[in-house]
Amino acid sequence: MSTLTFQLEDTKAGELAEAARKCGLEVEELLRQITDDFLSRATPNNDAFKKALADSVNENEELLRRLAK
């Protein structure tokens, strides 16, 4: 496991601590959950991304075919 250190404005750090408290979590656990959620959405290997890409290609198939020539 890696340890990350970064700077955060005091007001943001306070808001983060309050959000964690409201969720019944430590700040570190809240950040882990936020990171997992973000990465699952941002990773091209997830099913939602693949479906969105396929839909986009299907919708723009004719245009892509013309551009490929």
- For the entire predicted model, the pTM comes to 0.60
User: Tokens representing 50?
Assistant: 């693949």
Q: For residues 21 and 62, what is the distance between their CA atoms, to the nearest angstrom?
A: 52
Residues 55-65: pLDDT tens digits?
888 888 887 77
Residues 14-64: pLDDT tens digits?
999 999 999 999 999 999 999 988 887 776 677 877 888 888 888 888 877
